[in-house]
Structure formats: C-alpha cells, structure tokens
C-alpha cells in the first residue's frame, strides 16, 4: 500500500475508533459507572450515618441505664468517674446536664467551666421529643460534633444525658469509604475502556480494510479485492464491493476498447477531425487534422482551438457557430500548398454543454481539377479560334473578289482546306483524348503484336518522310511477346510518335523505329536526329496543348494533343512514356506497354 493509502487508513482508524465507536461507548460506560457510583455513594453515606446514629442511640440508652443510679442517689463525683470510663470505652463524649441547663458531668471538659446548656439545640429537641439529634459546632471543644440528647425524668429531678461523637471523624471514615468506591469505579472504567477498545478495533478492522479497498479502486487499482472472511452485513458489503470492482473493470475495459476503436478509426481517416468542449478546448483530434490545418496533432489535446489553428476565418467561424449560429463551411485557402475546406458544427454530448466538431477536407485535387478544366476550355477555345478566324479571313477575301483571281483564288482555297484539316485534326484528337479519359475500361481487349503495328505505321507514314527526304526505318526484335489492349489506340500512339519525329526533323533527317522487349514490357522506341527539345520544356511536353514552339507546331498541322494521347494510351494499357532529347541533336520517345508472355 502506498503512503497516501496508509495516511488515509490512519485517519480512518482515528475516525472509526475514537469518534464512531470507542469514544461514545466509553463515555456511555463512564457515565453509567459514575451514575451508579454516585448513587452508591449517597446510599453508603446515608446507611453509614444511619448506622452510626443507631449505634449512638444504643450507647445513649446503655449509658442512661448506668448513670440512672448515680443520679438517683446524687453521687455526682462518682458520676464523673463513671462517664469518663464509659466515654473511653465507647470513644465518645458524654455530658450529663441538669434540668436547668447546668452541666453536671462531662468526660471531655470540666463542668465548672462550661456554660449553661439549656439552650443547646439538642437539649431543646429532647425537651420537645424526649430524644434529639443535632450536628453542630461545639463551642466547648471547638469541633463539629454529632450530638444525641435524651430527657430523663428521675425522682431526684429532670436530667439530660447527651452523647457526642466527632463529625470530623465520621467524615474521615466516610472519605475512606468514598475513596474505595471511587477506586473501584476507576478500575471498572479502565477495564470497560479496554474492552470497548478491543471491541471497536474488532469491528473496525474489516471496515478499515473495505475502505482501503474502496479507496484503492477509486485511485484506479481495479485489481484490488477485499479478502475479509467476515460474515453478516460486513461480509455482504465486501462481496458487493468486489462485484462492483469487477463491473467497473469490465465497463472501463469496454470504454477503453470503444475509445481505442474510435481513435483507430479517426487515425485512419483522411479527413481531419477535431472535437472541442464548450470553451473550444480540444478533446479529440486526429493526425489528418494536424496535417491539413498545419499543427502538431499530438500536442494539441487540451489546448484551445485558436492556440493551434492559425486561421482567422476559421477561428471567427468557430466562435460564431458556438455563439449559436448555424453550421458553417470555410475554405482556408492554401495551407502548406493544400486547399482545405472546413465544416464547423455544434454537438451536444450526454447533456453536457455543447461542443464544436470541425471536419477538414483536402480539396486540393478538386481545386486543381477545376483549374485544369478552366485551362482546358481556354486552350480549346483558343485552338479553335485561330484556324476558324483564318478560314473566315480567307473566305471573306475570296468573297470580296479574290475568288476570280486565277492565282490567289486557288491559293486561298488551299489555305482554307489546310486550316479545315487542322480543325478536323483538333476535333479528332480532342475526341480521342476525351474517350481515353472518360473510359477507364478499354473499348477492346485484343492481343496486339506491337512489332506488326510498328511496321504498319512506318509503311503508312513513309511517303510523308520521303517527301522531306528523310530515311524512316523500322527494326523489330525477334520473339516479342504480344500485349493486350486496343489495337487502334496502340497504333495511334505509335503513329503520333512517328508523325512528330517526321514533323520535328529537318530535310534528309533520319528516323528509326525500334520495337523490343525488356523484362516485362514491350518498348516502342522512336529515335530521330531532329531539332530536339530544350531541357526546360521536356517535363511538360506530355501536357495537353503544350508545345515548345506554338507557331511551328501549328504550321506542321500539330494540335498540341499528340503526346497527351500517347501518354494516355500507354497509361490505359498499364504502361508509361519516356523521352530523352537534346536540342539540335534529336529525340528518343518510348512508349512502354506491359507484355503478356503467358498469353502470347
């Protein structure tokens, strides 16, 4: 057990022992013993005094019998001696008084020096009742005394006989009795206290143990169980506590599992998720949120939203939503080159104050797609407008009279034809490209022999090359695997490459087409010794409408779409394109398509 637990138990022991059990019982028992003792004391005193009085009375009667003769015969001197002897024996003071109050004899004082006793309260009492007790201070011997006086009517006259004992002596004897009684009470209290202490401890121990277990469980030590073998209510409580610990353990395990699942799901999401409490303090955040919104997700828990997200629009929207507004969508603009759309809404969890949920989406590809679309439309319009305006210009000039000009008429018509052809090429290329892009599946899947396709294209384009005095050769490696795909597309891809080589190679140039196989692919390579492509442009030539020299390309009847088509053809067949080029030296283009040996 740790020190906190021990301290807790110590306090509890004190509380249980002394406040709850020990002290109340002890006080109760002490009160009971004190009450009984006080009662016994009072009874003891009265019984003792009563006994003493009774004794004094018996002695009085005894003495009365013995002095009667002396008084009857008037032997006063003998009377004095007699009472002295009796007084010694009985250990008391004996006084004989005449009816007029004159003291005849006294064993403790000289009668001659004693004043008249007619008015002593005990004598007055004896006159009234025959006998009378009195406790008072004795003026003769200067001490508290208990007196008993008796009235005696004798033939020789009236007398009073009085016996007295020291009240101080009586009190002394009573004190001894009280001391004994008090001692007995104290011993009884001590024994009772010990018994109560043992009893309290006996009954507190299991409760202390249970409390220790409950405290340990509250601290999260869910494996702790009560080992008490008590029966009765405490046993039942211990079993209930153990069952409760089992149940809490299970619930916690379930909650932990649920939380772990939630965190795993959140972690695997590509959308960023942040959940905050009512004060916008972050309670839950995933990796993607940090990546998209530009903060370290692992350090964001417990921080306030504005401390981690440095985007004014989003923070403002969060405050507005929390202030009772509708859910909001905010575009954050580029953060680290990414476009992010953030959706903010309130949520209420189990009656607590409302919190905020932020879901962030990466819209970079959407934004890029929209930009590409705009760019494409602008490019297409531009590409269409140029030949159309040329055609229109020539047509207008013809209409204005050039038609009748034997030289210019045919020339302008030829130009119109060329540009119309250019337009047709453009539209065909656009259609081919859009078909390639919109159909993830190839329209036809057939075994294609790329070697044969290469030979066919070279044969087809040989006249164009010859027109420029170029040599166009084809070399097909033996034992080529076939590829699976659309023969029209593949032929078109090769044709575009060979056509470009003819276009961008000067008069008398040399163009070699090679078809060979590498590890897994069939490679169609078109090599020329033409104008080449500057290194700066090389990375972009497969983009649509990208040309190194726009007017030259157009002059050649190019559309700027040829290489984009080649790239798409390769890609839809699971392949790729490559280019190597050097200005004024020539270029090598490769269309690479996976071969199918097993099917070949």
If the CB atoms of residues 321 and 541 are measured against ligand ADP, the closer one turns out to be 541
If the CB atoms of residues 293 and 461 are measured against ligand ADP, the closer one turns out to be 461
If the CB atoms of residues 188 and 428 are measured against ligand ADP, the closer one turns out to be 428
Residue labelled with tokens 């001692």: 183
Q: How far is the CB of 541 from ligand ADP (least distance, A)?
A: 4
Specify the stretch interacting with ligand ADP by CB under 6 A; choose among 4-12, 194-202, 204-212, 551-559.
551-559
If the CB atoms of residues 525 and 528 are measured against ligand ADP, the closer one turns out to be 528
If the CB atoms of residues 120 and 547 are measured against ligand ADP, the closer one turns out to be 547
CB atoms near residue 434 (< 10 Å) = 10
Sheet of 510-517: strand order equals 471-476, 510-517, 521-528, 586-594, 576-582
Q: Which of 272, 355, 493, 530 binds ligand ADP (CB under 6 A)?
A: 530
206 scored as a contact of ligand ADP (CB under 6 A) = no
Q: Which of 93, 120, 162, 547 binds ligand ADP (CB under 6 A)?
A: 547
Question: How many residues would you count in the chain?
Answer: 600
Contacts of 158 (CB under 8 A, 6+ apart): 98, 99, 151, 152
569: phi then psi, degrees, rounded to nearest 5: -60, -45
Q: How far is the CB of 560 from ligand ADP (least distance, A)?
A: 5
Q: How far is the CB of 394 from ligand ADP (least distance, A)?
A: 22
By CB under 6 A, the count of residues binding ligand ADP is 22
Q: Which of 553, 567, 568, 577 binds ligand ADP (CB under 6 A)?
A: 553
The tokens of 65 are what? 């019998």
Q: How far is the CB of 422 from ligand ADP (least distance, A)?
A: 10
Of the candidates 145, 71, 151, 72, the residue with the CA atom closest to the CA atom of residue 118: 151
Tell me the HSE value of 453 on the side-chain side, using a 13 A CA sphere.
Answer: 28
The 10 Å CB-count burial string (b at 16+, else e) for 283-314 is ebbbbbbbbbbbbebeebeebebeebbebeeb
Q: How far is the CB of 330 from ligand ADP (least distance, A)?
A: 40
531 scored as a contact of ligand ADP (CB under 6 A) = yes
Q: Which of 87, 272, 562, 575 binds ligand ADP (CB under 6 A)?
A: 562
The tokens of 182 are what? 């008090």
> Would the CA dihedral through 381, 387, 391, 397 be positive or negative?
positive
Of the candidates 336, 342, 356, the residue with the CA atom closest to the CA atom of residue 314: 342
Q: Which of 169, 221, 549, 580 binds ligand ADP (CB under 6 A)?
A: 549
Separation of alpha carbons 463 and 444, rounded Å:
30
> Would the CA dihedral through 88, 92, 98, 101 be positive or negative?
positive
DSSP letter string, 406-452 = TTHHHHHHHHHHHHHHHHHHHHHHHHHHHHHHH-SS-S--EEE-HHH
Instruction: Check if the beta carbon of residue 70 is closer than 8 Å to that of residue 76.
Output: yes
The tokens of 87 are what? 């007084």
Q: How far is the CB of 402 from ligand ADP (least distance, A)?
A: 30
Separation of alpha carbons 44 and 181, rounded Å:
10
170: phi then psi, degrees, rounded to nearest 5: -60, -45
If the CB atoms of residues 308 and 515 are measured against ligand ADP, the closer one turns out to be 515
Specify the stretch interacting with ligand ADP by CB under 6 A; choose among 226-234, 351-359, 375-383, 530-538.
530-538
If the CB atoms of residues 134 and 529 are measured against ligand ADP, the closer one turns out to be 529
Q: How far is the CB of 567 from ligand ADP (least distance, A)?
A: 9
If the CB atoms of residues 92 and 531 are measured against ligand ADP, the closer one turns out to be 531
The tokens of 119 are what? 């008015």
Contacting ligand ADP within 467-526 (CB under 6 A): 496, 500-501, 504
Contacts of 464 (CB under 8 A, 6+ apart): 499, 502
Specify the stretch interacting with ligand ADP by CB under 6 A; choose among 14-22, 33-41, 473-481, 527-535.
527-535
Separation of alpha carbons 199 and 191, rounded Å:
12
Q: Which of 548, 570, 572, 577 binds ligand ADP (CB under 6 A)?
A: 548
Q: How far is the CB of 449 from ligand ADP (least distance, A)?
A: 24
If the CB atoms of residues 482 and 559 are measured against ligand ADP, the closer one turns out to be 559
* Residue window 569-598: x/- pattern of binding to ligand ADP, with contact defined by CB under 6 A: ------------------x-----------
Separation of alpha carbons 90 and 550, rounded Å:
158
If the CB atoms of residues 300 and 548 are measured against ligand ADP, the closer one turns out to be 548
Q: Which of 86, 509, 528, 572 binds ligand ADP (CB under 6 A)?
A: 528
Separation of alpha carbons 101 and 83, rounded Å:
18
If the CB atoms of residues 290 and 558 are measured against ligand ADP, the closer one turns out to be 558
Separation of alpha carbons 544 and 555, rounded Å:
18
Interface residues toward ligand ADP, by CB under 6 A: 496, 500-501, 504, 528, 530-533, 541, 547-549, 553, 558-564, 587
């Amino acid at each position: 057990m740790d020190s906190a637990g021990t301290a807790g138990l110590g306090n509890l022991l004190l509380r249980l022992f002394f406040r709850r059990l020990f002290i109340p019982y002890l006080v109760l028992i002490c009160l009971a013993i004190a009450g009984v003792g006080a009662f016994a004391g009072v009874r003891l005193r009265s019984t003792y005094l009563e006994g003493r009085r009774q004794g004094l009375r018996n002695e009085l009667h005894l003495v009365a019998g013995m002095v009667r003769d002396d008084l009857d015969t008037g032997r006063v001197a003998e009377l004095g001696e007699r009472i002295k002897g009796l007084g010694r024996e009985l250990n008391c003071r004996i006084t004989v008084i005449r009816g007029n109050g004159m003291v005849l004899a006294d064993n403790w004082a000289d009668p001659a020096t004693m004043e008249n006793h007619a008015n002593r309260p005990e004598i007055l009492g004896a006159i009234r009742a025959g006998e009378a007790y009195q406790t008072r201070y004795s003026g003769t011997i200067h001490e508290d005394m208990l007196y008993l006086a008796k009235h005696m009517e004798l033939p020789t006259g009236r007398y009073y006989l009085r016996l007295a004992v020291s009240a101080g002596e009586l009190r002394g004897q009573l004190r001894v009795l009280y001391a004994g009684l008090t001692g007995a009470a104290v011993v009884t209290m001590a024994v009772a206290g010990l018994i109560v202490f043992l009893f309290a401890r006996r009954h507190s121990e299991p409760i202390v143990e249970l409390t220790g277990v409950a405290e340990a469980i509250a601290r999260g030590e869910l494996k702790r169980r009560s080992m008490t073998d008590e029966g009765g209510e405490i046993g039942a409580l211990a079993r209930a506590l153990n069952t409760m610990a089992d149940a809490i353990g299970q619930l916690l395990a379930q909650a932990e599992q649920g939380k772990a699942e939630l965190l795993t799901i959140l972690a695997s999401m590509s959308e960023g998720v942040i959940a905050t409490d009512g004060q916008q303090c972050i309670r839950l955040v995933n990796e993607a949120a940090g990546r998209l919104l530009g903060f370290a997700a692992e350090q964001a828990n417990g921080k306030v939203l504005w401390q981690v997200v440095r985007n004014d629009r989003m923070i403002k929207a969060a405050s507005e939503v929390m202030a009772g507004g509708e859910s909001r969508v905010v575009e954050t603009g580029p953060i680290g080159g990414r476009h992010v759309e953030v959706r903010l809404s309130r949520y209420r969890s189990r009656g607590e104050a409302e919190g905020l949920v932020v879901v962030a989406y990466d819209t970079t590809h959407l934004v890029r797609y929209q930009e590409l679309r705009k760019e494409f439309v602008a490019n297409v319009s531009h590409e269409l407008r140029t030949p159309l305006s040329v055609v229109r210009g020539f047509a207008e000039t013809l209409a204005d009279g050039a038609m009748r000009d034997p030289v210019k008429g045919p020339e302008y018509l030829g130009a119109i034809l060329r540009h119309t052809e250019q337009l047709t090429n453009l539209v065909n290329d656009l259609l081919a490209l859009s078909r390639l892009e919109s159909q993830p599946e190839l329209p036809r899947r057939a075994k294609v022999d790329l070697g044969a396709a290469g030979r066919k294209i070279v044969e087809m384009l040989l006249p164009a090359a010859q027109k420029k005095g170029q040599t166009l050769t084809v070399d097909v490696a033996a034992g080529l695997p076939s590829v699976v795909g659309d023969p029209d597309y593949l032929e078109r891809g090769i044709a575009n490459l060979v056509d470009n080589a003819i276009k961008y190679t000067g008069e008398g140039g040399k163009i070699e087409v090679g078809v060979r196989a590498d590890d897994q692919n069939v490679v169609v390579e078109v090599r020329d010794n033409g104008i080449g492509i500057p290194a700066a442009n090389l990375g972009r030539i497969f983009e649509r409408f990208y040309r190194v020299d726009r007017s030259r390309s157009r002059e050649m009847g190019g559309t700027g779409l040829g290489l984009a088509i080649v790239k798409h053809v390769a890609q839809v067949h699971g392949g790729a394109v490559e280019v190597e080029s050097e200005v004024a030296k020539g270029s090598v283009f490769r269309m690479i398509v996976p071969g199918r040996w097993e099917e070949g």
